[in-house]
Amino acid sequence: MNRLSLLTTIFCGLASLIPSDLFSGSGLFALIFPTLIVPHILFFVLTLRISLKYVITNLIGIALTFFPAMAQLPIAEPLNDQEDSVRIASYNVRAFYQSDNAASQIAAWSQQEEIDVLCMQEIRKPEEWPISSLFSNVFYAPKWSSYCVGIFSKYPIIYEELLEFRELPGDGYRKHSAGIADIALPWDTVRFINVHLSSTGVSDGDMSVEPNADDVIERTKNIINKLVRSEHTRGLQAKSILQWVKESPHPLILCGDFNSVPSGNLYARLLQKMEDPYIWHGTGKMGSFEPLKRRFLPIRIDWTLHSKDFQCTDQHIEHIDYSDHYPLITTIGPPILE
C-alpha cells in the first residue's frame, strides 16, 4: 500500500505539471495531488508500529505533497504589522448579483477593514460606484466594457496597462480580464497584476444531485467534462501570466480568481519567482468559494502571490456573504533590506 500510494502520488504530481493547454486533464490531477498527503500521513502513523525503515516511503510522499497541501491549510497566527504595512484584498464580486446592495456592503466592509488596495474580478459597472468613491485611484480592464476587473487604490497609480491573453481566440471578456497598475506604495513602486482566469463552467446546480447512483455518476461526468474543457483555456491564459511576471520592472503582487487550486504547472512555475504567503502565513478559515465550502470542500481558488523580498504578516480568507467567493486579504510590509 505504501508503494502504491507513492507511485500514485508521483504519477499525479507529474501529470499535474504538464501545461493544461497541452493536456487538459492536468487540472484534475492538480486538484487530486494535494489530497494525497492524507493517506501518506495515515500510512506513516500505521507504519511506525511495524518498522521505521518502511516510513521512508511515506516521508517522500508527504514531502512531495507538502506545499500544495499547505497552500490550502491556514495554520499560522497573524504577526504584528510592520510600519507602513499595506492591506491588499482580492475579491471576485460576482457582478454584485449575490445580494441586494452588495456593492454598498462591500464598500462598508472595505472601509471597516482598512483595505488599501482592492483587486476585484467580475465587476459590473456602474454598480461599483459605492466602492470606487472610497479610493482615489481606480483602473478598469477592459475599460470599454461594463464587465471587467479592477484595481482600486488609496495610493497613486503611476502607470496602468490593459492586458490581453493573446493566445485565446475571440475578443470577449475572458481575453481581456487582466490589468496592470504600478502603485507608489509608501516604500516602493509595486506592480499589481489583477487577473480573472476562465471559469470552469460548473454551476451550483451541477453540484446538486439526487440521492441515487445514476444521478451522481451523470453529474460527476458532466463536471469532469467541464473542468477538462476549461483547463485548456486557462492553460493558454497561463502563458501570458508567466510572461507578464517575467517582464515586470518592479516588485510584483499577483492577485486574482484563478479558478483552480494552488497546484499544477502555473503555480509551480510562479513559485520559482514569487511566494505564496498562505503556505507560511495563512490564518483563519479555509475555502474561498462558497458553493464548494457549503459542500464540505473548503478549497482555495483565489490566490495572491508576491515577490520574495516582501514581508508578509498575514493572509486570510474573510467569510462574508456578498458574493459566491470570499475575499483573500494579505498584509505586507516593506522589502527586507540585506
Same structural domain for residues 34 and 146?
no
**In angstroms, rounded to a whole number, what is the distance separating the alpha carbons of residues 102 and 106?**
6
Q: Which three cell numbers stand for residue 332?
A: 505586507
**In angstroms, rounded to a whole number, what is the distance separating the alpha carbons of residues 151 and 141?**
9
Domain hosting 105: range is 86-333
**In angstroms, rounded to a whole number, what is the distance separating the alpha carbons of residues 287 and 90?**
14
Contact by Cβ (8 Å): 128, 151: no
Instruction: Tell me what pLDDT residue 229 has.
Output: 84
Q: Which three cell numbers stand for residue 83?
A: 510600519
Handedness of CA 240, 245, 250, 252 (dihedral sign): positive
Same structural domain for residues 8 and 101?
no
Instruction: Tell me what pLDDT residue 304 has.
Output: 98
Please report whether residue 57 resides in a domain: yes
Instruction: Tell me what pLDDT residue 201 has.
Output: 75
Please report whether residue 81 resides in a domain: no
**In angstroms, rounded to a whole number, what is the distance separating the alpha carbons of residues 114 and 135?**
11
Same structural domain for residues 30 and 111?
no
- In angstroms, how far apart are the furthest CA atoms of the chain? 66
Instruction: Tell me what pLDDT residue 222 has.
Output: 82
Please report whether residue 80 resides in a domain: no
Please report whether residue 195 resides in a domain: yes
The angle subtended at Cα 43 by Cα 38 and Cα 49, nearest 5°, is 145
Instruction: List 269's β-bridge partners, or say none.
Output: none
CA distances from 26 to 9, 179, 252, 262 (A): 13, 27, 27, 13
Q: Where would I find the beta strands (DSSP E) of 114-267? A: 117-124, 137-141, 147-153, 157-162, 178-184, 189-196, 252-257
Same structural domain for residues 37 and 134?
no
Element (H, E) at 264: helix 264-270
152 φ, ψ to 5°?
-115, 125
Same structural domain for residues 308 and 207?
yes
Total number of domains in the chain? 2
Instruction: List 91's β-bridge partners, or say none.
Output: 120
Instruction: Tell me what pLDDT residue 81 has.
Output: 80
Residue 274 DSSP label: E
Task: Count Cβ atoms below 10 Å from residue 67 Cβ, excluding itself.
Answer: 16
Nearest to 287 by CA among 301, 304, 300: 300
Please report whether residue 59 resides in a domain: yes
Same structural domain for residues 114 and 254?
yes
For residue range 146-164, what is the model confidence (pLDDT) as tens digits?
Answer: 999 999 999 999 999 999 9
Same structural domain for residues 33 and 97?
no
Radius of gyration of the chain (CA): 20
Q: What is the CATH number of the domain that holds 126?
A: 3.60.10.10
CA distances from 138 to 62, 117, 161, 164, 302 (A): 44, 10, 12, 19, 21
Same structural domain for residues 93 and 215?
yes
Instruction: Tell me what pLDDT residue 338 has.
Output: 55
Please report whether residue 305 resides in a domain: yes
- 70, 98, 114 — which closes off a domain? 70
The angle subtended at Cα 88 by Cα 302 and Cα 124, nearest 5°, is 65
- 70, 97, 123 — which closes off a domain? 70
**In angstroms, rounded to a whole number, what is the distance separating the alpha carbons of residues 90 and 138?**
15
Q: Which three cell numbers stand for residue 188?
A: 516602493
Same structural domain for residues 303 and 267?
yes
Q: What is the dihedral of CA 89, 266, 124, 204, to 10 degrees?
A: -100
Same structural domain for residues 166 and 267?
yes
Please report whether residue 191 resides in a domain: yes
Same structural domain for residues 216 and 121?
yes
> Average pLDDT per run of 10 along the chain, which is 338 residues long?
92 95 91 94 89 87 95 91 91 94 97 97 95 96 94 98 93 94 96 95 66 72 83 94 96 96 95 95 95 91 94 95 97 78
Element (H, E) at 47: helix 37-48
Instruction: Tell me what pLDDT residue 121 has.
Output: 98
Contact by Cβ (8 Å): 190, 159: no
Please report whether residue 284 resides in a domain: yes
Same structural domain for residues 245 and 297?
yes
- 70, 94, 109 — which closes off a domain? 70
Contact by Cβ (8 Å): 35, 299: no
Instruction: Tell me what pLDDT residue 219 has.
Output: 74
Q: Which three cell numbers stand for residue 187?
A: 516604500
Instruction: List 87's β-bridge partners, or say none.
Output: 331
